[in-house]
Chains A and B, each alone.
Chain A
Amino acid sequence: MTVIVIAVALGVVAGILSGMFGVGGGIFFVPVLLALGLAQLDAEATSLLAILPTVAAGTWRQQRYGNVRWRSSLVLGLASVLGVAGGILLATSVPEHVLRKLFAVLLIAVAAQLAWRARRS
């Protein structure tokens, strides 16, 4: 029961932050799922599924504003499937603690990118 409440609360917070700062939910979902006790690889895999409702809502909103170029989305998406296969292959072949450290580096890179963007605006 407690886990459910914590998961839902963290989910809402992650969603608010990602909507506010225009970053994807995955960057939060992975740490949230780790905090809930999942292993690194399972957290990453589960995060990909958890992203889908937010992405669907976001796409629907943007589509109403006429911002989505569907043909490009389709080309990007289909090409990404091949990249996904490579990513899974690498993620499943390195030790989980290495994967976690790589993820931490990604977080720092995103933080730096956001701060740089804020400074320029």
Chain B
Amino acid sequence: MRLVAIGLLAGFFSALFGVGGGIVAVPLLILVAGFAPRTATATSLGMIGITALAGTIGYAFGGHVEVGYAALVGVPAAFGAVAGASFQQRLHARTLTYLFSLLLVGIAVRLLVI
């Protein structure tokens, strides 16, 4: 039952913002459903496959999905993510995470002013 509620919420966020929904699902799986962090992340990936597919199909009816752009950005990203995950094992710098947070805030500010 808890999983159903978490899935509903994650799906809503996913479609509203064009993200996977892991941002919502992972913390909730840990805090509400008692999953270990690693299991929560991995299990949410399985969910996102279904969530993102449903979102894509839903938006495609309105003609909002640009398949060419999705392939151009999404396929190279899959390779990048594999590389990124292996860097993660080696470096564990706090400063780097702060810089990354700053980058996100920078993008947010830009989106707020344009």
Contact = CB atoms under 8 A, between A and B. Distances in A.
Interface string B42-67: 11111111111111101110101111
A79 B7 contact: yes
Nearest to A114: B101
Interface in A16-58: 16-27, 29-34, 36, 38, 41-58
Contacts of A74: 46, 50
B102 interface: yes
B3 A87 contact: no
A116 to B, nearest CB: 9
A75 B4 contact: yes
By size class, the interface of chain A is 35 or more
B19 to A, nearest CB: 3
Contacts of B54: 80-81, 84
A46 B56 CA distance: 7
B25 A76 contact: yes
Contacts, number: 362
B26 to A, nearest CB: 9
Contacts of B111: 31, 34, 100-101, 103-104, 107
B43 A72 contact: yes
A30 B52 CA distance: 14
A34 B53 CA distance: 21
Given A11-B75, A51-B48, A80 B10 contact: yes
A65 to B, nearest CB: 7
Q: Which of A47, A48, A99 has the most CB of B within 10 A?
A: A48
A29 B77 contact: yes
A5 to B, nearest CB: 10
Contacts of A41: 59, 64
Pick the 7 closest A-B CB pairs, nearest first: A19-B84, A15-B80, A83-B11, A44-B18, A73-B46, A87-B15, A79-B7
11 contacts: A16-B87, A23-B23, A46-B66, A50-B71, A54-B74, A54-B77, A68-B42, A74-B50, A80-B51, A87-B16, A118-B101
